[in-house]
Structure 1
Amino acid sequence: MRKIALVVAVVLAAMSLAVSNAGAGTCTSVDWGSGPKTVFNGSGGSVTDIRSGRHECFDRLVIDTDLPGGGGYYVTYTDEVTYVGSGTPVPLRGGAKLFVMTYTPSYDENFEPTYQPANPQEVVDVTGYQTFRQVAWAGSWEGTTDLGLGVRARLPFRVFTLSNHIVVDVAHQW
């Protein structure tokens, strides 16, 4: 009985290792690129929340809006993200900086805020993320909302919309 139990344990351990190694190869490459991504489908609506998540192959930033189509965006790597209005640089941690702009303000038609981060320097907590280093507020002005996304390095990213969301994924590797 002990020999059978030992054989079963060895077989299960080998199967577990094979499954974990098979999953490790799923993130080996992406074809998202690191060039600017933009969609302009008009402006309007408003930002209602900003959140993030960790995934096996990428870190994700989600900007919630009150628009069924999510809204338009412009996302690009830049040497410096600046605060709207003043042009003062937004301090960001990381080896590369992504400028994230939505064509959706963080205020309503009466200029009442619809979203205000509790801490503009740390819009969401990305402690322990593999790629994200910091998400900082750069302001909301003339129908847009701007964020600075500090990342580990200039890595491929994609941007897409879902109902009521603009999603920015940054890969963990090329």
Structure 2
Amino acid sequence: MRRTRAAVTVMVLAGATLWTAAGTAGAAPVQGPRAVAACPTGWGSGAKGGAAVGAEHLTDIRTGQHECYDRIVFDVPGGGDRIGYHVQYVDRFHADPSGQYIPVAGGAVLDIHVDAWSYDLEAGKPTYPGKVGEALPGVNVGGYRTFRDTRFGGTFEGRTQVGLGVRARLPFRVIQLDGRIVVDVAHSWTSQPTPLAPAVNGR
């Protein structure tokens, strides 16, 4: 009888051990929001451009903060997914075509050209209320990790120009989306994500 009870006890303990082990092995490790891969670093900092298809009007410029980069978005409703652009780092920001020098705060300056009017010639009024040499209306980059300043360069021959001041010459990418041009500037050349929730207006 004692041998039978001992055998039963061993079997129960063994079963409990196997159940615990199986439960532990099947449970996914708890990972916080920072347990993700390193930020992309292959964008480079060289000039980037994309061909235009048609011409529309710029209606808004907005920014947002993300884990790996700061973002600026140019809204061009009706522009499709092939809105033209040219983006490059410059030593000094000059408005086209006047050549007027416009100071832009930051360790480096991106000269951004988007192939869209910010003025409706037929209606005789602006579609975007930017003023040459002034900060972008409604845009506040205070507290951003990468962005430091914004300046409106004007609109000429179907193209709108913006100067974007950033902390340093950092890698960036440009994305053509439906009715939008998106410019992302990385927080650093080799970085880990930071605990920043995306800004709603800069998605």
- TM-score norm. by structure 2 comes to 0.71
The change in CA–CA distance for 1:165 and 1:20 in structure 2 (over 3 A counts) is closer
The answer on whether the counterparts of 2:131 and 2:154 sit within 8 Å (CA) in structure 1 is no
* Among 43, 50, 55, the residue aligned to 1:39: 50
Q: Give the gaps of 5 or more residues in structure 1.
A: 1-14
Moved more, 109-118 or 92-101: 109-118
2:135 match? 122
Q: Tell me, yes or no, if structure 1 residue 56 matches structure 2 residue 67.
A: yes
Letter in 1 for 2:146: T
Q: Which runs of 5+ in 2 are unaligned?
A: 1-28, 190-203
Matched, 1:162 2:177: yes
Q: Which of 30, 36, 41 is matched with 1:30 structurally? A: 41
Secondary structure at the aligned position of 2:35 is classed as helix
Aligned to 1:99: 111
Matched residues, number: 157
Give the C-alpha shift of residue 105 in structure 1.
1.2
Secondary structure at 1:26 match in 2: coil
Query: Over the residues paired in the alignment, what is the CA RMSD in angstroms?
Result: 2.0
Report runs of 4+ in structure 1 exceeding 6 Å deviation.
Answer: none
Do residues 113 (structure 1) and 131 (structure 2) align?
A: no
Q: Which structure is larger by alpha-carbon Rg, 1 or 2?
A: 2
Contact kept? 1:93, 1:133, Cα under 8 Å: yes
